[in-house]
Amino acid sequence: MTQEQHLIPTAGTATQPTSPAALRRTNLSLVLRHLHDHASASRADIAEATGLHRATVSNLMTELLEWRLVREVGIEHVGAVGRPRRAVALHGAHVGALGLEINVDYIAVHGTDLSGRALVERRVTFDTVGSGPDRSLRRLALVAREAGEAMRRAGTIPAGVGVAVPALVDVARGVVAFAPNLNWRDLPLAARLSSALGPMRLPVAVDNDANLAALAEYSSGVAAGTPHLVYLTGEVGVGGGVIIDGKLLRGADGLAGEVGHLPVDPAGDMCGCGRQGCWETKVGLAALVRTAMPEQSYELADELVPDPEERVMEIARGLASGDRRMLDAVAHVGKWLGLGGSIIVNLFNPGAIVVGGYFATLAEWLLPHAQAELTRLVVGSPAAQCRFIASGFGFGAPSRGAATIVVNQLIDDPTAIMDPTLRPAAP
Interface residues with its own copies (CB under 8 A) are: 6-7, 12, 14-18, 23, 26-27, 30, 33, 49-53, 168, 226-228, 240, 242, 244-245, 249-267, 273, 275, 339, 342-344, 346-351, 376-377, 379-380, 382-383, 385-386
Smallest gap from Cβ 294 to its own copies, in A, equals: 22
In terms of CB distance, is 126 or 348 closer to its own copies?
348
Which residues, at least 6 apart from 217, have a Cβ–Cβ distance to it below 8 Å? 223, 224, 229, 231, 243, 354, 391, 393, 397, 401
Smallest gap from Cβ 347 to its own copies, in A, equals: 6
In terms of CB distance, is 56 or 391 closer to its own copies?
56
Smallest gap from Cβ 178 to its own copies, in A, equals: 8
- Tell me how far apart the alpha carbons of residues 186 and 178 are, in angstroms, rounded to a whole number: 6
Single out the residue of 86, 32, 27 nearest to residue 51, CA to CA. 27
Smallest gap from Cβ 157 to its own copies, in A, equals: 29
In terms of CB distance, is 56 or 103 closer to its own copies?
56
Smallest gap from Cβ 15 to its own copies, in A, equals: 3
In terms of CB distance, is 242 or 354 closer to its own copies?
242
φ/ψ of residue 9, rounded to 5: -75, 165
In terms of CB distance, is 50 or 296 closer to its own copies?
50
Q: How many CA atoms lie within 13 A of 8 on its CB side?
A: 27
Indicate the helix (H) or strand (E) that contains 244. Answer: strand 240-244
In terms of CB distance, is 248 or 293 closer to its own copies?
248
The DSSP result for 18-80, as a single string, is -SHHHHHHHHHHHHHHHHHHSS-EEHHHHHHHH---HHHHHHHHHHHHHTTSEEEEEEE--SS
Smallest gap from Cβ 302 to its own copies, in A, equals: 19
- Tell me how far apart the alpha carbons of residues 127 and 143 are, in angstroms, rounded to a whole number: 14
Smallest gap from Cβ 13 to its own copies, in A, equals: 8
- Tell me how far apart the alpha carbons of residues 308 and 315 are, in angstroms, rounded to a whole number: 11
- Contact (CB, 8 A) for 276 and 333: no
In terms of CB distance, is 288 or 386 closer to its own copies?
386
